Every structure is written in C-alpha cells, then in structure tokens.
Amino acid sequence: MIKLTYDKLSEVSNKLLLAVGASEEEATIVSKTLTQANLCGVDSHGILRLVDYVHAVEKGGIKLGVTPRIIKESPCTGHIDGCWGFGQLVATKSMEIAIEKANRDMVAIISAFNCNHVGRLADYTVMAAEKDLIGIMAAKGDPCVAPFGGRKAIMGTNPLSCAIPHGGEQMIVLDFATSKVAEGKVRHALLKGEKIPEGWIVNSAGYSTTNPEELYEPPLPPDAIKIAGALLPFAEHKGYSVSLIIDILGGILSGAGGVNMKQGNNGLFILTINPEAFISRSEFKEKVDQLVRTIKSSPRAQGVKDILIPGELEAIESERRRKNGIPIPEDVWDNLRMLYRKYGLKMPEIE
C-alpha cells in the first residue's frame, strides 16, 4: 500500500492526463474529482478509474478538447450536449450553468447527454451548496439493475445526490446508488474469492445467489464487460421506483437514451434551488444547522456509537486522510506506473 498526499495524488493524475492530450482544464477537473473521491474514502470512484479513462481516450470514447454546448435553453432550463467529453467536464459545466441560472432565476434544471462517466455526484451537488443553493443530481448509467421482481438488468445503478447549504454545522450531502450495492462491491468480492450476502444480486435464471460470479457473463472480472444476472434495487419496490424515475429523468428526459442507451454513457439530471425564492438564505441555513444539531444530539438506539449526518462519514475520512495520507493499493499503483511508462513519463517521487 502506497500513501500519498492529496496534492501529490492529484499531480500524478494531472501529469498523466496532460500527457494523454487533455487540456489544462480537463486534466484539472478530472484529477480533482478522482482525488477528491480517494480523499473521502470512496476509492471505487478514485484514481483507479484513470486506466479506464485513458483507454477511453485512446479508443475515442472520450473526446478531448470539446466544449459541452447548450442546444436548448430557457431562463430556468438548459439542455446540454456533452459532445462526448470527459464526464467530469460535462457535469462541472452543467452544474456551473445550473448555479448561474438558479442564482438569477431561483431554480434551474439542466439535463445532459453524450456524456461519459462523471464519477461521484456529490462533487457537483456540493458546488451548488457552497454557493448557498440546494443541489440535486441524478445520473442514469448502464443497465445492470433488475426491476423489482425481475431478473433482467434494465435500469442503471442510477445514483442520486443532494447537498444542502449550511452554516457552521456539518454539510448534509447525500450520495448513493439506487441499487442495493454498487457493482464494484460484487466485483471486489469475486476477486477476493468471497461470497456476497443474499439480496444483492439475482442470477440469469432468476434465483437469488451469494456467488458473485453469477452476475457476469464470461469472461469474469477483471475482464468482464457484460452482465448476465442483475443487481437488485435498494429498498425493494420503493428503491425500484426511485431508480426507475432516475432512468426517466437522467436517461429519457436528457435524450441520453431509454432502454437502449450507449454503454459507458451517463445521462444527467441536475436541479438547483435558490432558497431565496421562499425564505432568506440566512434563515434557511440557520434552520438546517438547527436540524443537524438536533439530530446529532438526539438519543441513540442501543448499540449505536454515533448518529451520523449524510456525508459526515466522508468528511471524517477526508480529515483523516488529509492528515495521514491517501492509501493507494499496489495493483492500482502498478497500473498507473504502466501508463506512465507508456506515455514516457517519470513517476513522481513518493517520500
């Protein structure tokens, strides 16, 4: 296990992306979101993704030097063609527009298509919250989740995020997949030779299974590209409903695609709300802080050490890793080293 500072890890990513041909802006935005994910402990969305991204650039799936453009607009809405740029670039630009519009016209909905993998949604919703706007975002992804009662992967893992403006207390940041678990967790169990809990997946014959292999068509991970079974939605019929709505908001409304969206694509739905449309920003933030304090100081259930605010776990982990360094597994590091060699780069010194 290697340990790096935030700045060093960001530099590792940045240098590689520039060598691959990304612009300063692209490299900065992508490196920031990847490093941010590692910092807060969501390693599945961190620097390990660089290998896929570099391959996608090489194969033309991710196009460099493009500028996402608005193809349809009204004061409170914008429809964005991401032009197959980095998903992080498309999402960042989309959120910037959503912030500008909600600042001026109280609310905005932006949807985007032709957009690659965007990473953690919280990175974008927090941009809004830091500007005193409520930020909500959902993304439709590749089909890998079965409808409740089904066995065929139709919906994406369709993550949902929301960040709330706050005063002195912890920021409320929700960010979760609407599948029971992320596909990465099944993959992780498979690679470690472990079983998975009942209720995570269904196999292609429609049986619940604890064998992670049954999620995939051969070849199995790490080379797997196709799903045979399906992940299950979170929270049975309720979670299925939410996932389905995100399929519609992120996939159909954006034009990214409904049941036959291109693989690796993300369809984005972004909503920003200016509290000033209703009550003053200061009153809003004060009452949110009060709610957070009430929850944090409320009595706990038996066996519970701490009641957490959504996003608090990531904030605690960020603090810890900022102090102690960000751990990167050897295999992830080796992959980066190979890419560095391929692009004739010298790996930065790690103290």
Cβ 207 to a copy of itself shortest distance, Å:
5
Is the Cβ of residue 18 or residue 248 nearer to a copy of itself in the bound state?
A: 248
Interface with a copy of itself in residues 41-80 (CB under 8 A)? 72, 74-77, 79
Is the Cβ of residue 156 or residue 221 nearer to a copy of itself in the bound state?
A: 156
Which of 194, 277, 282, 331 forms a contact with a copy of itself (CB under 8 A)? 277
User: According to the binding rule CB under 8 A, does residue 273 interact with a copy of itself?
Assistant: yes
Cβ 270 to a copy of itself shortest distance, Å:
12
List the x/- string, 232-271, binding to a copy of itself by CB under 8 A: --xx-xxxxxx-xx-xxx--xxxx--xx-----------x
Nearest Cα to 258, choosing from 155, 151, 152? 155
Cβ 183 to a copy of itself shortest distance, Å:
17
Containing 194, the helix (H) or strand (E) segment is: none
**Is residue 223 helix, strand or coil?**
coil
Q: 155 vs 90, 177, 197, 204, 248, CA distance in Å?
A: 22, 12, 21, 16, 10
Return d(Cα 238, Cα 336) in angstroms, integer: 40
Sequence-separated (6 or more) residues with CB below 8 Å from residue 50? 13, 16, 17, 34, 335, 336, 339
Return d(Cα 53, Cα 20) in angstroms, integer: 10
Cβ 294 to a copy of itself shortest distance, Å:
5
Is the Cβ of residue 282 or residue 324 nearer to a copy of itself in the bound state?
A: 282
Backbone angles phi, psi at 169, to 5 degrees: -85, 170
Interface with a copy of itself in residues 173-212 (CB under 8 A)? 174, 176, 202, 205-208
User: According to the binding rule CB under 8 A, does residue 298 interact with a copy of itself?
Assistant: yes
Is the Cβ of residue 44 or residue 77 nearer to a copy of itself in the bound state?
A: 77
User: According to the binding rule CB under 8 A, does residue 294 interact with a copy of itself?
Assistant: yes
Query: Residue 293 has which token pair?
Result: 């304090």
Sequence-separated (6 or more) residues with CB below 8 Å from residue 298? 307
Is the Cβ of residue 13 or residue 266 nearer to a copy of itself in the bound state?
A: 266
Is the Cβ of residue 68 or residue 221 nearer to a copy of itself in the bound state?
A: 68
Interface with a copy of itself in residues 131-170 (CB under 8 A)? 134, 146-152, 154, 162, 164
- Terminal C-alpha separation, the chain: 13
Pairing of strands 267-273, 134-140: antiparallel
User: According to the binding rule CB under 8 A, does residue 337 interact with a copy of itself?
Assistant: no
Sequence-separated (6 or more) residues with CB below 8 Å from residue 301? none
Nearest Cα to 27, choosing from 43, 15, 44, 39? 15
List the x/- string, 107-126, binding to a copy of itself by CB under 8 A: xxx-x---------------
Nearest Cα to 54, choosing from 268, 351, 339? 339
Cβ 295 to a copy of itself shortest distance, Å:
5
User: According to the binding rule CB under 8 A, does residue 2 interact with a copy of itself?
Assistant: no
Contact range with a copy of itself by CB under 8 A, out of 48-56, 59-67, 185-193, 230-238: 230-238
